[in-house]
Structure 1
Amino acid sequence: MTPDLKLLEKLDGLYDVGRDMVERAQVHGLTVEYEFDLCRFDKWRKAVNDVLYERGGCDDIYYQRFRKNSSQPVVRDLEEGLRILSAVRDDVEGEMIASGALRKKRGRPSASYSISNY
C-alpha cells in the first residue's frame, strides 16, 4: 500500500478508537476495568490487522508484532497495540515526507513577491 493521506486518516481513526477504549476503562489514569467488550475489541483488532496487512503483508514487522502482542481484550495488550499503531503512523508520515506527498502544492506567487524580485 502506498502511503497517502487516506492511510494516515485510517491509522488516526483506529488509534482514536483504541485510545477511547483505554480511557473508558480508566478513572484518573488508573485502570478500573482490565477487560473490554470482546466484540468491540475484536472489530478494532481486525480493522488494524487489515490495514497493517494491506500495508506490508505477512512479512511486515508491525503486522507480526501486532498479531503477537495485541491478542487479548485487556488494557496491557490494547496499549501495546496503540504503541505499534503509533509507530506505523510515524513511519507512513516519514515515507510521505520523503516522497514529497505532504508538500503543499505551490500556487501562483503573490503580487508582492513578483514585484520585489524584479
Structure 2
Amino acid sequence: MYSFNTVSLPNFLLPRTLHGRMLLLMFLLLGALVSITWLMVSMLVSSILEEYIGRNALNVSKTVSLTTVVHEGLKNKNSTQIQLYAESVRKATGARFVVVGDHEGRRYSHPVPERIGM
C-alpha cells in the first residue's frame, strides 16, 4: 500500500491525520481532473477553430475562382488585373494572402510581387 510518508515533501506539508491525507488526495485528484478536462476542451476548441478557418479559406477561394475578373485575367494572361483584385479580396476578408494561379502552376497574384509569374 502506498504511504504518504515516502513522498519527498517537507514534514510540515504532509498531513498527519487520515482526514488530512484524504483531503490532500481529493485536492490532487481534483487538480488532475481539471487539468485533463482543460486539455480535452482546448483540443476540441482548437480542432473546431481549425476546421472553421479551413472552410472559410475554401469559401474565399471558390468565390475568387468564380469571378469574371479572374476568368478574363487568366484568359488574357493579365496578372495586373488579377493582382489588384486578389489584393482587394485579401484586405476585405482579412486573409493573410490570396494567390491565383493557372493549371500550369504560373502565379498571377501573390502577396510578394516578385513571385508573380513563377
TM-score by length of 1: 0.30
* Structure exhibiting the larger radius of gyration computed from Cα positions: 2
TM-score by length of 2: 0.30
